């Protein structure tokens, strides 16, 4: 009986070991399923991440081009403003020259007016003197006629 008991004990031990092996296989299968699910999640995450990365990169490239275009437009506006400033500076210089010419012309005209007024006053004085002479002459004529 002791051989039978040993055999029965070994048989039970083998059954227990096989059950533990089956449980371990089941846990390994469960773990493999979990690993596969996690791997699928990581793959989906990576695909989503790569997609969002491409979208973000595209947006950044678009924003970069927009900013470059805005910078180009701003540079063109600055160039235009510089050209306008140069033109205005030239116009200002031309106007200053013209103003100086007009001042000289005004001074010349004022001098002519002053000369004319002096001559006019001199002529008025001559006319007054001549009128006095005429009046005196007429008075003498009236006296002679009497």
State CA 24 to chain mean position distance. 70
Measured CA to CA in angstroms, residue 59 lies from 48, 118, 122 at distances of: 16, 85, 91
Look at residue 1 and give its three-state secondary structure.
Answer: coil
DSSP 146: -
What does pTM read for this prediction? 0.47
Rounded to whole angstroms, how far apart are CA atoms 117 and 15?
Answer: 145
Confidence class for position 140, pLDDT limits 50, 70, 90: confident
In this prediction, residue 41 has a pLDDT band, given cuts at 50, 70 and 90, of very high
Q: What pLDDT, on a 0 to 100 scale, did the predictor assign at position 1?
A: 57
CA dihedral 130, 133, 138, 143 (to 10 degrees): 180
């Amino acid at each position: 009986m002791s051989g039978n008991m040993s055999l029965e004990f070994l048989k039970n031990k083998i059954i227990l070991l096989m059950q533990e092996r089956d449980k371990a296989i089941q846990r390994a299968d469960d773990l493999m399923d979990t690993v596969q699910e996690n791997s699928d999640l990581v793959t989906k995450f990576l695909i989503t991440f790569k997609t969002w990365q491409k979208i973000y990169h595209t947006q950044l490239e678009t924003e970069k081009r927009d900013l470059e275009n805005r910078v180009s437009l701003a540079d063109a506006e600055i160039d235009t403003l510089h050209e306008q400033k140069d033109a205005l500076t030239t116009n200002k210089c031309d106007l200053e020259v013209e103003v100086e010419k007009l001042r000289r012309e005004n001074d010349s005209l004022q001098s002519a007016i002053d000369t004319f007024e002096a001559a006019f006053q001199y002529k008025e004085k001559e006319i007054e003197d001549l009128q006095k002479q005429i009046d005196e002459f007429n008075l003498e004529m009236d006296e002679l006629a009497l």
